[in-house]
Structure 1
């Protein structure tokens, strides 16, 4: 089976997260750290490849350059679709890098429309009416509003994107998603006809993300957190089948905590 999905993730944590999600969905997945070069190879039998970058908070031009180089490499390996992976908190600034990188990836692919959905329901991240929630709080009311690098003081994904892109931003709401993948595809086509390039999608459950994944199979570029990538993975026809990710049961283990979030501090 040829490589189906290529992911460019904006940090290492997101890269490992999305690789795990794709394996959980049944895709044989390879993980690469840093921008690949011409000598970087993939296993012959992988269904998906994830490249973990460190461009979430770098200058926008650097983030664009690394992301485009990664997309080009994934295409060279046969990837039919690109998933731009970012944090389920939509961590970014008014200058980017999510909207900026998304525009660059779309331009390179000649794509006219894409979906943006950072929902990760098992982690309490949901999107409703285009607003990002952390459990029962709006993102802007949660402890993430105090993030040291990317303080998130606005929960409206449409507002955040409008500040990062010159293109129009639309919404596929939960009522549409509840009607299934065909309804979502029709909504995306309508947005595309109206000149909307970025479409924020609601998602409250993993089932919603599965609907979105099925609806987005033909889009050259899709963006979101690991949840949407898993929805895509479950929609792909593969021969490997869903498989539990193996967890070591014996021996020593180390836990690396890479941020200063309130939840992380409580658990450390």
Structure 2
């Protein structure tokens, strides 16, 4: 199947299984995370090659801070190394970087790098790479609700004006279209507090591959699966409706 005929505008990926990939091979978990960075680079290349407009990667959840300190420190180190090493190349490739997630409790040496990546690439017009860092969808929704509640309390907004569109404007993803396809690796079949509002009509695909094994071929197979699906967004298939009359 020629997937380029029906490429999703926005693909989001829950990159899961780094630790299990390492454990199966007798490596420390940190090795799985390092191998996972290579998979990130490959996913970005494929998305850019195919003309996908938005690629969102769940890099670090707001719950991941509960992991062992050594693992968290390694993940922070990998993130910083990725930005320092890859930012120039991503900029040359016309990639725009967007960061979503809470920013008030980020490590002091991480936030400036993320802000620099956004600022450096803000005018690029190619693939938008959305990095979900310190992100949790329930937290995002709660923060949006607090913003709207404050505006109501201040008399700036009526309760009746709080519509789904108005609510979406307060989310971290404002200006980013909802994902068409959400992929989760490692065989787990749940969203794990990722893009819960935005996933309302997303196609979900759960694949057994651990994230470090995510390759161009894996990505292409996922896009082929998406291309075969029929999306009705709550409506009725016109052909099926005609047959049922």
Q: TM-score range by the shorter chain?
A: 0.3 to 0.5
Largest Rg, 1 or 2: 2
Structure with more of its chain in helix, by fraction: 2
- TM-score, normalised with respect to structure 1: 0.35
Q: Which has the higher strand share?
A: 1
Q: State the TM-score, normalizing by the size of structure 2.
A: 0.37
Which of structures 1 and 2 has the larger relative contact order (alpha carbons within 8 angstroms, sep 6+)? 2
